Structure 1
Amino acid sequence: MTIALSRRSLLGAASAGTAAALAGVPSIAAQKAPPLFGPASGTAWLTYNENPYGPSPKAMAAMADAASKGCYYADEATERLRRMIAERFGVTPGQVVIGNGSTEVLSAAALDWGRRGPIVCPELFFDEPLQVAERHGARLIRVPLRPDMSVDLDAMAAAAAANKAAMIYLCNPNNPTAMLIEPDVLRAFALRLPAGTTLLVDEAYNELTDRPQANSMLDLVKSGRDVIVSRTFSKIYGLAGLRIGYVLTTPENAQRIDGNIMTIDLGTSALAAAIASLNDEAFMAFSKNRILEGRGMILEAARKAGADVLPSQANFVFVRVPDANAVRARMAERGIIIRGAYGKWKNWSRVSTGKIEDVRRYAAALPATLGT
């Protein structure tokens, strides 16, 4: 039970002689507080597409070293990370914008382009960055998915042309469906867009796909196309709570996005962790192996339970169920936390790949929660 008592009401109760009524209530100090970060002990946490195997040892060592320097602004660290990202992906530093999580850079792009014309997007995707722009007057044109839950690029192209869209906004792989638009198809789509329509591709889960380099649209950025690619340290690097993300695009687009960034400087610990993590190939390989193992377990468990699943190229799986909210509630009774329904898609349940032992608990509980 949670009891909210202000200092004023508590003193008033005492002065009125009602303090005795509180005799059986534990003090705030004595109450067990929930953890500030991550799940409570014994909870299987499969809800937020995090990588619970991070941060890497290198990142943790860098954060520990940076902790004593938290009194200083981090200008040089930001510029170092920008140069490192540019070198890793073969672009210039002027083509990189870093923000407080990829949400900030995506919101900054949506704010700028949304002032210039409509933004065409799928009906179901990670739309929080666009909600920011929408609250500031941007017009979003949401295009229904195909019956198989894939993104309908032809319908999006038609909507963009009919409405003189400033931007087409995609997640690839998409969230929450986890489905990947084949790179050759997406590349051809990008190349036929009219001048004045920018393609933004949120590649938050790219490193978790079967062929990260082939699946990315970075080659279009490097060839000077009007394309924006977003990446994050939240997923494979396991730095979700530290909030570091970035985009790669043309220098002109980068300047426009940077003009809408709200953060002056990023956090010292976050930058230290990102700098230490960016080229940590050993940890990335370790994380990917664990994530793919968990993903395979979820896919196999769903199929054994008789549930349809969408093909996944991310660290989550979209499972077809009779009632997503009911399944979430039944799982929660067992200490297993997953997502409920997404709007009208009440028969689809998103399950993230947490720790292997937590995925194992989900797999064991799934038949009972589905009634199979």
Structure 2
Amino acid sequence: MASELSRRGFLRGSALVAGAVASGTVIPFDAAVGSMTSAKLLYGPAPGMAKLNANENPYGPSKKALAAMSEASAKGAYYVGESVTRLIDMIAERYGVTKDWITLSAGSSGVLTYLAVAKAKQGKILGPDLFWDTTTLGAIRQGGELVRTPKAKDLTISLDDLYASITPDVSMVQICNPNNPTGMTLDPRALKAFCMKASKKATVLIDEAYNEITDDPDAHTMIGLVKDGYDVVVARTFSKIYGLAGMRVGYMIAKPETTELVQKYSLGNYSLNQAGVAAALATYDDFDFLKYSKSMILEARGMLEDAVQSNGLSAAPSNASFMFVDLGSLNAEMFRQKMALQDVYIRGIYRDYTNWSRVSCGMLPDVQKYVTALPKVLDAMNA
């Protein structure tokens, strides 16, 4: 029954994206997943649906988070207060800074948007050709300007190109590390050297949403440079390894003057909720859960890597909770639609990368569903 419902929903939604397939443009996320919505299902994916399109950690929330959320929800009539102070204190203590270096928001999307809006008023925002630019584009729609460096054939981010593109009218350079949608990480020493040099010309924002999933989180983070006084900002989230995407909690670590600037554009505590903050508090030091989550994500990634290789495809080397698969001559949006008919939901085209398809490292049965459907869909599209 679930399959029939999702197939009918898929066919209704196909018309929304048909034009984009022909033009090779990116499919808005809401349109791409709109066919998954069911009037009878309010929370999460329907039974039998393999949801592998948003890089969520389906092993969350943890048991501790669920208990904390239940307790906090009983006080849902009240705005957040002391819990926010305590979470900021925990984050500040871990990284050895004072609380005026920390800004919380609804996911890291909040602080990324606030900073982009603030910096777009000061000058241009510079980024690589391909990165998670959703929040930046929000600022651009308000009159800012985004400059991209040239596309790289191997999907890497050229730090040399970025540095050479920092003109006097650039106010901020934005980098995702690991990058989204590629999953690739930059060499830590090269990135640190770039940040130290580039931050003398513009603010450098490092989006570290997937840092905890990398092979060496401590080596890949740029938080040390923030502490050392460089004009570097790091954004983190509870949406990925912590398994709290739906609870909307994230944070930014920056020098106090940058924090003060960002807070001029933020909603403060009004963007946060009791249950989400309680879950973040309960999960932040739940290292057993974090270790388990990471192990399951890596197992899923291994399954995807094997499936891609065995079907004659290739993928970008991922250090995150998703993979960016090269479909060769096939169209990624058509591939997304065909996979949806198998109740497997992935992402479609990014910008003009028409043959690249992103798939998340979800629950193992869901990943297996992708693995099983992959050769069938490829055969059908190559027929």
TM-score (normalised: structure 1) = 0.89
Matched with 2:132 is 126
Aligned 8 A contact 1:34 1:40 in 2: no
The whole-number CA distance in structure 2 between the counterparts of 1:59 and 1:71 is 20
Matched with 1:307 is 313
Matched with 1:28 is none
Could you tell me how far 1:164 is from its partner in structure 2? 3.1
Aligned 8 A contact 2:64 2:283 in 1: yes
One-letter amino acid matched to 2:249: I
Q: Is residue 323 from structure 1 mapped to residue 331 from structure 2 by the alignment?
A: yes
The whole-number CA distance in structure 2 between the counterparts of 1:78 and 1:194 is 30
Give structure 1 stretches of 5+ with no counterpart.
3-31
Alignment of 1:78-117 (within 5 A): 78-117=84-123
Could you tell me how far 1:201 is from its partner in structure 2? 0.2
Match of 1:240 among 237, 245, 259: 245
Aligned 8 A contact 1:294 1:355 in 2: yes
Match of 2:285 among 279, 284, 289: 279
Alignment of 1:196-275 (within 5 A): 196-265=201-270, 266-275=272-281
Q: Is residue 187 from structure 1 mapped to residue 192 from structure 2 by the alignment?
A: yes
Aligned 8 A contact 2:300 2:362 in 1: yes
Could you tell me how far 1:343 is from its partner in structure 2? 2.1
Q: Residues 90-144 of structure 1, C-alpha deviation per residue, up to 9 Å, x if partnerless?
A: 2111100000111110111111111111110112111111112112211110112
In structure 2, the residue corresponding to 1:98 is in which secondary structure?
strand
Q: Is residue 45 from structure 1 mapped to residue 51 from structure 2 by the alignment?
A: yes
In structure 1, the residue corresponding to 2:318 is in which secondary structure?
coil
Q: Is residue 364 from structure 1 mapped to residue 372 from structure 2 by the alignment?
A: yes
Could you tell me how far 1:196 is from its partner in structure 2? 4.2
- Bigger drift between 77-86 and 187-196 goes to 187-196
Q: Which aligned segments of 4 or more residues in structure 1 are displaced greater than 6 angstroms?
A: none
In structure 1, the residue corresponding to 2:79 is in which secondary structure?
coil
Aligned 8 A contact 2:123 2:169 in 1: yes
Could you tell me how far 1:65 is from its partner in structure 2? 0.7
The whole-number CA distance in structure 2 between the counterparts of 1:194 and 1:292 is 34
The whole-number CA distance in structure 1 between the counterparts of 2:295 and 2:241 is 10
Q: CA RMSD in A?
A: 1.4
Q: Residues 204-226 of structure 1, C-alpha deviation per residue, up to 9 Å, x if partnerless?
A: 00000000011100110111111
Q: Residues 149-185 of structure 1, C-alpha deviation per residue, up to 9 Å, x if partnerless?
A: 011211111111x353111001000100111011111
- Bigger drift between 69-78 and 215-224 goes to 69-78
Aligned 8 A contact 1:56 1:277 in 2: yes
Aligned 8 A contact 1:145 1:152 in 2: no
One-letter amino acid matched to 2:368: R
The whole-number CA distance in structure 2 between the counterparts of 1:305 and 1:196 is 46
The whole-number CA distance in structure 2 between the counterparts of 1:334 and 1:147 is 31
Matched with 1:29 is none
Larger radius of gyration: 1
Give the direction of change, closer, same or farther, for the CA distance of 1:71–1:194 in structure 2 (3 Å limit): closer
Could you tell me how far 1:194 is from its partner in structure 2? 5.5
Question: How many equivalent residue pairs?
Answer: 342
In structure 1, the residue corresponding to 2:218 is in which secondary structure?
helix
Matched with 1:352 is 360
Matched with 1:340 is 348
Alignment of 1:131-210 (within 5 A): 131-160=137-166, 162-193=167-198, 195-210=200-215
Could you tell me how far 1:263 is from its partner in structure 2? 4.0
One-letter amino acid matched to 2:214: T
The whole-number CA distance in structure 2 between the counterparts of 1:289 and 1:194 is 35
Aligned 8 A contact 2:61 2:244 in 1: yes
Aligned 8 A contact 2:199 2:232 in 1: no
The whole-number CA distance in structure 2 between the counterparts of 1:204 and 1:253 is 19
The whole-number CA distance in structure 2 between the counterparts of 1:71 and 1:365 is 46
Aligned 8 A contact 2:125 2:147 in 1: yes
The whole-number CA distance in structure 2 between the counterparts of 1:342 and 1:128 is 12
Give structure 2 stretches of 5+ with no counterpart.
1-7, 10-37
Aligned 8 A contact 1:118 1:163 in 2: no
TM-score (normalised: structure 2) = 0.87
Could you tell me how far 1:145 is from its partner in structure 2? 3.0
Q: Residues 290-347 of structure 1, C-alpha deviation per residue, up to 9 Å, x if partnerless?
A: 0000011101100110001110011000001122112212211111111111121110
Percent sequence identity over matched residues? 44
Aligned 8 A contact 2:332 2:356 in 1: yes
One-letter amino acid matched to 1:361: K
